[in-house]
Amino acid sequence: MSLSDFKKAEVNLSGLVLETPLEYLENFKGTAGSGISVKREDLQLVRSFKIRGAYNMISSLTPEAKNRGIICASAGNHAQGVAFSCSNLKIQGTIFMPTTTPKQKIMQVELHGKEWISIVLEGDSFDQANEKAMQEAKNTGSTFIPPFNSPEVIHGQGSLALELLRQSNKNIDYLFIPIGGGGLAAGMSEVFRNMSPKTKLIGVEPEGAPAMQKALKAGWPIYLDVIDNFTDGAAVKQVGELPFGMCKRNLDELITVPEGLICEIILRLYNENAIVAEPAGALALAGAMAYKGTKSNDRIVAILSGGNNDMSRFPEFKERALLYKKLKHYFIVRFPQRPGALKEFVIEVLGPNDDIVHFEYSKKTARDNGPALIGIEIKKPEDFKPLVQRMKERNFYSDYVNELPDLMNYLV
């Protein structure tokens, strides 16, 4: 790919996509105290960067291909970009989405596509929906619009890098790019290697779906049998072949971040900056916050890639963030089956700032002790060990549930 391909895509998108702001976040700092700016693609027309690649490819189709219609698969953001493009270009489209897609994203796809698109819910993950969509495209002769593994899509996503470099009045020392299938990282890294070769390019993946990391270790885009779909916009089981090659060539480093940190960033953005970010949208900023290699005077930019969030997920975000910060702990507690046992636990075991936030107990007959499931929120991580010590001294302690994955999956 040449730089002219990306510049051509930028011209093609001119007048359609918004030039989103580059915003300095005063309250977010890197590990060395360096400031962080974010490229606000959450403010894009479809609230994510995905419109860039989708529109660039669809608008480039021949008239014959446009008449046959298009098909795509997406967990949400690519679908919105395709839907908007279909409506804008008056092309019929069919969009396959996983059954696990948040309702908010489905509604947005319907809003952007109007009568020009139809939605098919298929499979429990993007990859299952994608397989079905590709088969349908073969059967019908419609053009398949991939979310990341296409030169035209990558050129469109890479237009974001051209825009960012124009906006930046200083050299960018570190650029953090979120990675799902790899299209955005491929396009942006190619442009930066040509136009800003000294910038350190860091790809960021969620810990539960490290498809690019596994691919780079294996030497090819391997398929992951199991992933965590929590970061739905970046949770894929296999990265694209084209993005893999470009990321391997251009990225300086690839890191993963825990989903709990992503949740903490989402909540902070909402509470402190009035920014609504989805998990994949906050991914790169989480990476910038966790990365250890920056210096205090480095200029850092992270791509805030999407804001299609369902507000009903916020209780889960809070739960995961508290668990990540080691401020929420679940225990199986043995209560003596006698009057006053709970009162003793509250007075003698809990610290002055500890709070019971979850309690499940059922009294069993003919038993000396009855187990209870208790969730306790503490004020600071250092309060944990004294709490456990007091539980053990008074013979209340049984099991620490946070270290029992099956039970935690039931709770969270």
Q: Which residues belong to the active site?
A: 50, 305
H/E stretch holding 335? strand 328-336
Which candidate, 63, 100, 55, places its Cα nearest to that of 80?
A: 55
| Residue 161 near residue 188, CB atoms below 8 Å | yes
CA distance 49 to 41: 6
The token pair that represents 305 in the structure block: 């890639």
* Coil/strand/helix, residue 311: helix
Within 40-150, residue ranges assigned H as helices are 50-59, 63-68, 77-89, 103-113, 126-140
> What is the 3-state secondary structure of 224-285?
CCCCCCCCHHHCCCCCCHHHHHHHHHHCCEEEEECHHHHHHHHHHHHHHHCCCCCHHHHHHH
How does DSSP classify residue 75? Answer: S
For residues 214 and 208, give the distance between their C-alpha atoms in angstroms, rounded to a whole number. Answer: 12
Identify which of 346, 338, 340, 393 has the alpha carbon closest to the alpha carbon of residue 368.
Answer: 338
Rounded to an integer, what distance in angstroms lies between the CA atom of residue 86 and that of residue 115? 9
Distance CA 317, CA 209 (A): 18
Going through 30-113 in order, the beta strands assigned E by DSSP cover 35-40, 70-73, 93-97
Q: How far apart are CA 36 and CA 289, in angstroms?
A: 8
Q: Hey, what are 167's tokens?
A: 């906006």
Residue entry with tokens 């209870």:
372
Return d(Cα 232, Cα 299) in angstroms, integer: 29
Which of these, 221, 245, 239, lies nearest to 147 by C-alpha position?
239
**Which two structure tokens, joined as six digits, stand for 64?**
């014959």
